[in-house]
């Protein structure tokens, strides 16, 4: 027991306490500034290599007086960075402080011998604070008085109802926090008490949790790691190819062109020209459309996921959900409904139903509002809900009866008693409810001890709270006296629990089938946690054991080295404290896991912040929302499975765009390389190349980003954390399609150049159209990558994809037919168009046949 002055603090003591411990205000998390959000976009590895390419392209532009390529790259950089910045800034504005903490709520304190109300922010360490039912605890403190006090600690521990007392003999040794301690942000569910403040503001448990929720995690997203590897590969290949071309062209000029016989000025100019061609290869190797494709995909997914009740705050969280291998979830409010509910009520006497309802209705202090929400004690409210669901309303029963005397529930007594004048029978009745083992001792022998004991054991094994109801006629007007007289009738036992959400078991099954591990982290008792895990399909009593379950106390006592060998096997952590979940997340990440964390309370914020993806509940605390990446607006675990499907589909779409663009880059670089060897130029004008780049970048990015999520991805296992974005299957498709394009295009050039002696405008127009339609049909190959069905299915769901393709085809026809000198084209006949489109379509037809063969082989395995 702490020392305190019942008359409260004096003014000098208040000033001294505030000077030493500060105000009772938790420092809010600081939002990123607009400039910081914008600059973060330039940390993208592909953007950085694009910046280098832009500089090199500008150098070439100054030499050749042509800045077309430079402008294209710079536009790609601006689009990719600005679109990403706008979506995140807009999300931050909408997300900022969804639930502002009101520090001006009045609090009752004793100061200088009198009770007064002050704003919560003015509470200081040492203040004597009076708390009662329905109020929020303003700061951490120690109780000096407690009467029937129950605290809702769900925001910190997940426990909706915890008994508090100042009697050491009644302390709960398994409680997450001491039975005489109350914490900021929790609420009084029932009773009243007096506390002395021991910590305020950032020093409170809620303050420490909030501080951890704002610490920056250095964990890189899976997509960032893969793009970094891709940018390094592209950079190295570009430099290698440019060096090779430089050496080959220089050797050709020296040995075949007699370069060394020229004067030094001619030699310098020729070497500079060769160097510029080599640098152009580096610029061409960079897929400038990739950042825009990723940004568009993330932004479109961000908007679409909102329709599935996933409010995304950070765009990369969309994709990271697809790489998740473990979900650490709290219990209360996420897996369960966070409301007490009477699962079953068994009657043991013959009291008429309406009179039994009167005994229940009068012996409670809870209420139901107009919407049916419980006001007051959640357990007592659950009984009123049960009555109303059975067609009996408590309000008329209370109005017709008269309360003679009442004894409120206390931790020491473990029961509540009320003497009433019945409005139904007119009798004076003693109504009692409380712990079954206590209430049974007040009752007359009825020969049902074994039956009641068996029933109670069954309820307790299912982690349900039990409440017994008894009654007796009495002439007394004092509850204690009537209870001591004994001889009550044992009327009923109610089994009360926080029920599992209806959609959770199916959602858990989807995640488990997708290869994602699920771990429950809760402040509840081990028995309750195991029962909830069993109900959602996570726990099997026959298969799971001690290695799969740990308590917060055991977890804290073990070293990181000991836990690293066990964390992946864990399914349940019970009696967990707020920072236990954060530590668990870090340990799982050390084991190579990509971790998603769900939570709604202040206690979940540190783990939400440090996870690869933090998912808060829409009804959760503002601290939890601020620390998260995604908010589940419907509080449903099922939305998590949907987010995983979106993330995996999004990553697949990004791979498809990479496949599409790198195939074109490979073909273009190869043609340039061979052309450089034989001294021929690329037979496309600057304006034609600009149109090709629009197809490669903008249209292709929009087409791939528009592809809808595919539920089939949930049949796959999570991709390895460090998997390269270009898989072996992608590489095979890339080189196969790229080689086919090179053979066709170079074959056309050499046929016309060598056999016919030159290129006409008509032939160049055919070449231009063939080049574009090869890209057109190659988009089908990219769309069909890693699918279990034909690319021509899902016509309705892929409407945008086919509309964009149609725009490319129509655009090419219009450019050729009406482009004239601007595009250096001549109109083609219908026969020529049929030949170009039909011949190039073989690229898609061949790809479809190969994919069909692969699908058939997989089915036969």
Bridge partners (DSSP) of residue 153 are 159
Query: In the block, which residue shows the tokens 């030159």?
Result: 758
- Report the SS3 class of residue 579: helix
8 A C-beta contact, residue 113 and residue 7: yes
| Dist CA 88 CA 66 (whole Å) | 35
Tokens of 399: 């109005």
Active site residue 330: yes
3-state helix, strand, coil in the chain (%, to 5): 55, 15, 30
Query: In the block, which residue shows the tokens 């020969």?
Result: 447
DSSP class of residue 546 equals G
The CA-based angle 848-852-857, given to 5 degrees, is: 150
Residue 827: Cβ-neighbour burial (10 angstroms; 0-12, 13-18, 19+): middle
Active-site residue identified among 122, 330, 604, 629: 330
Per DSSP, helices labelled H in 65-104 are 68-95
8 A C-beta contact, residue 662 and residue 286: no
8 A C-beta contact, residue 783 and residue 692: no
Cβ neighbours of 237 (radius 10 Å): 16
| Dist CA 280 CA 517 (whole Å) | 48
8 A C-beta contact, residue 177 and residue 222: no
DSSP class of residue 559 equals -
Three-state helix/strand/coil letters over 349-394? CCCCHHHHHHHHHHCCCCEECCCCCEECCHHHHHHHHHHHHCCCCH
| Dist CA 664 CA 775 (whole Å) | 7
DSSP class of residue 158 equals S
| Dist CA 827 CA 82 (whole Å) | 39
How remote is the C-alpha of 503 from its chain's centroid? 18
Residue 856: Cβ-neighbour burial (10 angstroms; 0-12, 13-18, 19+): exposed
Tokens of 788: 């279990």
- Which residues, 6+ apart, have CB-to-CB distance to 638 below 8 Å? 503, 504, 506, 507
- Which residues, 6+ apart, have CB-to-CB distance to 495 below 8 Å? 342, 343, 344, 345, 346, 459, 462, 464, 465, 466
Tokens of 832: 């020529």
Across 225-288, the runs of DSSP E, i.e. the strands, are none
Tokens of 383: 């009984």
Active site residues: 330
């Amino acid at each position: 027991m702490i020392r305190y002055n019942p008359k409260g603090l004096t003014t000098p003591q208040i000033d001294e306490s505030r000077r030493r411990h500060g105000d009772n205000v938790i420092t809010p998390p600081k939002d990123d500034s607009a400039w910081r959000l914008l600059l973060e976009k330039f940390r993208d590895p592909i953007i950085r290599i694009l910046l280098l390419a832009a500089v090199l392209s500008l150098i070439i532009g100054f030499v050749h007086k042509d800045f077309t390529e430079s402008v294209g790259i710079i536009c790609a950089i601006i689009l990719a960075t600005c679109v990403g910045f706008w979506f995140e800034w807009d999300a931050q504005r909408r997300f900022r402080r969804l639930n502002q903490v009101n520090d001006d709520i009045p609090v009752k304190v004793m100061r200088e011998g009198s009770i007064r109300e002050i704003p919560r922010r003015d509470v200081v360490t040492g203040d004597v604070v009076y708390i009662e039912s329905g109020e929020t605890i303003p700061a951490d403190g120690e109780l000096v008085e407690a009467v029937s006090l129950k605290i809702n600690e769900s925001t910190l521990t997940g426990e909706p109802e915890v008994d508090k007392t100042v009697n050491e003999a009644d302390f709960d040794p398994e409680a997450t926090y001491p039975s005489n301690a109350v914490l900021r942000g929790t609420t009084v569910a029932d009773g009243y008490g007096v506390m002395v403040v021991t910590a305020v503001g950032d020093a409170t448990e809620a303050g420490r949790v909030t501080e951890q929720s704002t610490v920056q995690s250095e964990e890189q997203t899976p997509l960032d790691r893969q793009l970094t590897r891709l940018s390094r590969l592209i950079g190295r290949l570009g430099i290698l190819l440019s060096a090779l071309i430089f050496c080959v062209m220089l050797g050709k000029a020296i040995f075949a062109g007699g370069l060394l016989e020229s004067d030094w000025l001619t030699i310098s100019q020729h070497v500079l020209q060769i160097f510029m061609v080599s640098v152009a290869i580096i610029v061409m190797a960079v897929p400038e459309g990739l950042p825009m494709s990723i940004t568009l995909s993330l932004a479109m997914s961000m908007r679409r996921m909102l329709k599935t009740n996933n409010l995304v705050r950070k765009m990369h969280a969309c994709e990271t959900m697809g790489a998740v291998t473990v979900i650490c979830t709290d219990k209360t409010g996420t897996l369960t409904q966070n409301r007490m509910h009477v699962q079953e009520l068994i009657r043991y006497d013959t009291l008429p139903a309406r009179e039994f309802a009167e005994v229940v209705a009068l012996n409670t202090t809870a209420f139901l509002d107009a919407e049916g929400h419980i006001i007051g004690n959640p357990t007592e409210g659950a009984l009123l809900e049960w009555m109303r669901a059975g067609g009996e309303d408590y309000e008329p029963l209370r109005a017709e009866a008269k309360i003679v005397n009442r004894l409120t529930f206390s931790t020491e007594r473990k029961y509540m008693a009320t003497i009433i004048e019945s409005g139904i029978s007119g009798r004076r009745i003693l109504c009692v409810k409380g712990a079954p083992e206590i209430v049974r001792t007040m009752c007359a022998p009825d020969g049902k001890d074994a039956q009641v004991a068996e029933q109670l054991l069954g309820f307790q094994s299912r982690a349900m709270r039990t409440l017994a109801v008894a009654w007796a006629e009495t002439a007394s007007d004092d509850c204690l006296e009537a209870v001591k007289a004994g001889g009550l009738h044992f009327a009923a036992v109610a089994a009360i629990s926080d029920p599992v959400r209806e959609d959770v078991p199916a959602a858990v099954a989807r995640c488990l089938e997708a290869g994602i591990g699920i771990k429950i982290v809760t402040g509840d008792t081990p028995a309750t946690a195991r029962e909830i895990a069993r109900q959602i399909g996570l726990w099997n009593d026959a298969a799971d054991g001690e290695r799969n379950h740990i308590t917060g106390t055991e977890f804290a006592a073990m070293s990181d080295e000991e836990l690293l060998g066990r964390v992946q096997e864990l399914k349940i952590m019970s009696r967990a404290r707020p920072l236990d979940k954060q530590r668990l997340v870090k340990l799982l990440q050390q084991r190579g896991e990509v971790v998603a964390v769900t939570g709604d309370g202040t206690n979940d914020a540190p783990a939400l912040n440090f996870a690869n993806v933090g998912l808060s509940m829409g009804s959760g605390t503002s601290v939890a929302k601020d620390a998260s990446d995604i908010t589940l607006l419907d509080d449903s675990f099922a939305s998590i499975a949907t987010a995983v499907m979106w993330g995996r589909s999004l990553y697949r779409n990004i791979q498809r765009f990479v496949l599409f663009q790198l195939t074109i880059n490979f073909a273009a670089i190869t043609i340039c390389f061979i052309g450089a060897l034989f001294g021929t130029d690329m037979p496309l004008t600057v304006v034609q190349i600009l149109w090709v780049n629009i197809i490669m970048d903008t249209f292709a990015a929009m087409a791939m980003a528009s592809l809808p999520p595919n539920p089939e991805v949930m049949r796959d296992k999570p991709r390895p954390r460090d998997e390269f974005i270009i898989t072996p299957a992608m590489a095979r498709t890339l080189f196969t399609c790229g080689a086919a394009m090179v053979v066709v295009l170079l074959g056309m050039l050499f046929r016309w150049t060598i056999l016919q002696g030159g290129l006409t405008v008509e032939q160049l127009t055919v070449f231009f159209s063939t080049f574009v339609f090869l890209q057109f049909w190659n988009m089908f190959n990219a769309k069909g990558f890693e699918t279990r069905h034909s690319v021509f299915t899902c016509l309705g769901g892929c409407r945008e994809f086919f509309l964009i393709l149609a725009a490319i085809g129509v655009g090419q026809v219009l450019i050729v037919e009406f482009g004239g000198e601007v595009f250096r084209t001549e109109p083609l006949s219908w026969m020529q168009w049929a030949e170009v489109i039909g011949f190039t379509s073989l690229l898609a037809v061949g790809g479809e046949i190969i994919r069909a063969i692969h699908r058939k082989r997989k089915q036969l395995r």
